[in-house]
Amino acid sequence: MFFYLSKIVWWVAAPSNVLIGFVLIGAVLLFTRWSRSGRRMVAFGALGLLVCGMAPVGIMLARPLEARFPVLSQEMAPPTGIIVLGGSIDQITTAARGGQVVIGAAGSRITEAAALAHRYPQARLVFTGGSNALFAQDAEDEAAAAARLFAQMGIATARITIERESRNTWENAVLTKAMVKPQPGERWLLVTSAWHMPRSVGIFRVAGFDVIPYPVDFESRNTDREIRRPVLPMSRGLDLVDRMAREWLGLLAYRVGGRTDALFPAPGPARP
């Protein structure tokens, strides 16, 4: 129920959808006795879309998320295993295109995990993610597609473990821990988008799985120039605002629900 509810609520609450809603409702009100309110709603929605689409709002939302956990040194000690969170494969398009694996916006999760697997040939590679789609549940799950792709990238299938039942990050953590049964002293890398890392680490801590963050898939360049220039195209700016706003709201919702160890998880030991 939580999975379906979160999908539906976010579709309604996404900033771009809310702003478009203001424009549409305001446009309807223009032809009623509430035309003055309608003009205000249209103006507010249009201005909001312009600001969110072209100003670096999404970048500013992404920066603190991506800076929370540092990029690890290439000289780090060999890990026991590499855990890759799902969200990088378009399972519906993959199925529609005859099984050719279609990588989405978070493709760095796959490519960086594969690079790590080649760098540390003794490490176990774990991909966690089933189907996170509301529809087309009969399509091949993301984990199975990822396993095929990793094999095509030269990683031995004997090293690959897939967890194919999870639909969100909480289930990623709980089901992966149950599957790999981590032991004291082991080193497990967690590979996911840098902006998604704080919530992911907090969730894994609550699940009792101590992981080492390995952030990838950065959205911001962390330069002064990017916050002084408009974001183009406008659709990219709106998409970035939607995704970063969702992540911040996710941090709040998961903390309220007791599924992260802190409101904004940080490096260091888990909080009680």
In a domain, 51, yes or no: no
pLDDT at 8: 79
In a domain, 188, yes or no: yes
> Could you report the per-residue pLDDT of 17-53, keeping only the tens digit for each?
999 999 999 999 999 999 999 999 999 999 999 999 9
Q: Lowest mean pLDDT: which of 73-82, 191-200, 233-242?
A: 73-82
Give 4's pLDDT tier (boundaries 50, 70, 90).
Answer: low
pTM of structure: 0.92
In a domain, 23, yes or no: no
- Number of domains forming the structure of the chain: 1
Mean pLDDT of the chain: 93
In a domain, 10, yes or no: no
pLDDT at 135: 57
Angle between helical axes of 35-54 and 57-67 (0-180°, round to 10): 50
Phi then psi dihedrals of residue 162, to 5 deg: -120, 140
Give 272's pLDDT tier (boundaries 50, 70, 90).
Answer: low
pLDDT at 133: 64
Whether residue 209 has pLDDT greater than 90: yes
Per-residue pLDDT, averaged over 112-136, amounts to 88
In a domain, 173, yes or no: yes
Give 140's pLDDT tier (boundaries 50, 70, 90).
Answer: confident
Domain extent for 130: 73-217
> Could you report the per-residue pLDDT of 94-109, keeping only the tens digit for each?
888 888 999 988 999 9
In a domain, 81, yes or no: yes
In a domain, 263, yes or no: no
Per-residue pLDDT, averaged over 215-229, amounts to 93
Look up the CATH number of the domain holding residue 122: 3.40.50.620
In a domain, 203, yes or no: yes
Whether residue 225 has pLDDT greater than 70: yes
Whether residue 249 has pLDDT greater than 60: yes
Whether residue 146 has pLDDT greater than 80: yes
